Amino acid sequence: MGERRMCYADLQRSERRMLILESVSAAISAWVLCRVLMEPGMIFEKWGDMAHRLNERGLDWLAKPLGACGVCFSGQFGLWFYLVAWRDRWVLGEGVCFTLQTIFFFLIIDRIETWLNQQKESG
């Protein structure tokens, strides 16, 4: 058996790049699901409605990771994406970094979209 990596810093440069690119992909997917496909008239509208109903009933601990909160949803998406994609070689430090990177990139995408909408409205 090969030597087991214990942290993110032990990854080879190409592996680190791959994790970063995959976390960007996970963030884009989470953003599209949460901010586009759960909107009224879209394919996951019912899912979004369910998440917001749960939130209104005070079950925010359940509603937020299911889509009522984009950051919470992207964190859950990143966590499960990592666990499935890297299932054969899961490492705690990598999983934490991957999840946090997914949230970070989700927030960047969200801010860019907000800025673009403001630019569109102002002229």
Report domain extents, the chain.
11-116
- pLDDT-derived band at 25 (thresholds 50, 70, 90) equals very high
Rounded to the nearest angstrom, the gap between the alpha carbon of residue 100 and the centroid of all alpha carbons in its chain is 9
Between 15 and 54, the higher pLDDT residue: 54
- pLDDT, the chain, mean: 91
Residue 7 tokens, joined: 């942290």
pTM of the predicted model, to two decimals?
Answer: 0.86
Return the minimum-mean-pLDDT range out of 43-47, 55-59, 82-86, 89-93: 89-93
- pLDDT-derived band at 1 (thresholds 50, 70, 90) equals very low
